[in-house]
Structure 1
């Protein structure tokens, strides 16, 4: 049984309403709109000789993120979710050409 199915059954058993949503939406996935953009910009132009070099740089980047980086990302979720609802699930950033 898929983990999603187990979770769905558990939520239903305890009376939680299951809302329909896309399997993957870049507007709703915090890592897509808040994490990967800055990480992509940070890594842009870098070259790594080994996988270990890349892993080391990733660890360094994550270790040096300020708590405000995460606070801003979490605080922006509500407005992103509302935009997605207002656009009936359409991609929020599509009109601005961001990818």
Structure 2
């Protein structure tokens, strides 16, 4: 199992557990980012208005234009 964890200076915002042998496609990553956005809206109101910076690697799903 793999864990995707997103946090800011206040702590963890969102965690997802990805089953073993799951391929992280562009669509799957975009779905994760949408769930992250919804979690940010509920846990950190106003954060999206200031802008969000994500630091991520350059894996193919992460660097696709749609992402």
Greater share of residues in strand? 2
Kindly name which structure, 1 or 2, has the bigger radius of gyration based on alpha carbons: 1
Task: Please report the TM-score for the alignment, with normalisation by the length of structure 2.
Answer: 0.39
Task: Please report the TM-score for the alignment, with normalisation by the length of structure 1.
Answer: 0.29
Greater share of residues in helix? 1
